[in-house]
Structure 1
Amino acid sequence: MAVQAQAKCGVKDSEISFQIEEKMQNILFKITKFTLCLLLTFHGIADCQTPIRTTSELLQDKEAMDSIMSIDILNDMVKLGTTQDSKLNIQSNCTTKEYGITPILVYIIQPIEFNYGRLFPSKGIWKVRYKFDRCGESKIYNALFTASNDREKPKCDMLLPGTTNASQLLIKDALTSALTNVHLQAIKTGDKKCEDVNVFDMRVSEGFHDVTEGDKTFKGVWEEIWTFKCCDKMVDVAITFIPNADPGGASFICRSTSDKKPQISSILSVNQPIKPRTGGAQ
Structure 2
Amino acid sequence: MGTLCASQALAQQPPAAPQAIPEALQRFQAYATSDAYKKTVSQIATIGDSISAPECKEHKPMERAAITIFRPAAFGEGPHPVDGLWMDRIKMSRCGTPVMQNILVRAQANGQPPQMQLKMPGATSANPPMQDKVMQDVLASLAKGKCTDQTKIIPVDSKLDKETKPRKIDGKGMLVEGAWKETWVFTACGKKANIGVEFTADGKGDLAHKVK
SS at match of 1:90: coil
| 2:185 maps to which of 227, 236, 258 | 227
Query: With structure 2 as the length reference, what TM-score do the two structures score?
Result: 0.71
Query: With structure 1 as the length reference, what TM-score do the two structures score?
Result: 0.55
Distance, in Å, in 1 between the alignment partners of 2:164 and 2:79 is 38
Give unmatched runs, 5+ long, in structure 2: 17-24, 167-175
Distance, in Å, in 2 between the alignment partners of 1:219 and 1:144 is 25
Aligned partner letter, 2:189: C
Aligned partner letter, 2:30: D
Distance, in Å, in 2 between the alignment partners of 1:221 and 1:134 is 29
Corresponding residue of 1:278:
none
- The percent identity for this pair of structures is 19
Corresponding residue of 2:161:
205
Distance, in Å, in 1 between the alignment partners of 2:209 and 2:192 is 22
Root mean square deviation of aligned Cα: 3.2
Give unmatched runs, 5+ long, in structure 1: 1-52, 188-192, 211-217, 256-282
Report if the CA contact (8 A) 2:45-2:61 is conserved. no
For the structure 1 residues 124 and 92, does the alpha-carbon distance in structure 2 shift closer, same or farther, using more than 3 Å as the test?
same
SS at match of 2:50: helix
| 2:33 maps to which of 59, 69, 87 | 69
Report if the CA contact (8 A) 1:114-1:150 is conserved. no
| 1:182 maps to which of 142, 152, 162 | 142
Deviation at 1:87, TM superposition (A): 2.0
For the structure 1 residues 224 and 55, does the alpha-carbon distance in structure 2 shift closer, same or farther, using more than 3 Å as the test?
closer
Distance, in Å, in 1 between the alignment partners of 2:194 and 2:68 is 26
For the structure 1 residues 242 and 136, does the alpha-carbon distance in structure 2 shift closer, same or farther, using more than 3 Å as the test?
closer
Does 2:113 match 1:113? no
Deviations for 1:57-108, whole angstroms, at most 9, x for unmatched residues?
A: 96655553231122221222232123223322435544x8xx4341111111
Distance, in Å, in 2 between the alignment partners of 1:139 and 1:57 is 17
Does 2:121 match 1:157? no
Distance, in Å, in 2 between the alignment partners of 1:92 and 1:57 is 28
- In our comparison, the structure showing a higher alpha carbon Rg is 1
Distance, in Å, in 1 between the alignment partners of 2:158 and 2:143 is 18
Return the structure number with greater relative CO, CA threshold 8 A, min gap 6: 2
Deviation at 1:199, TM superposition (A): 1.6
Aligned partner letter, 1:106: I
Larger helix percent: 1
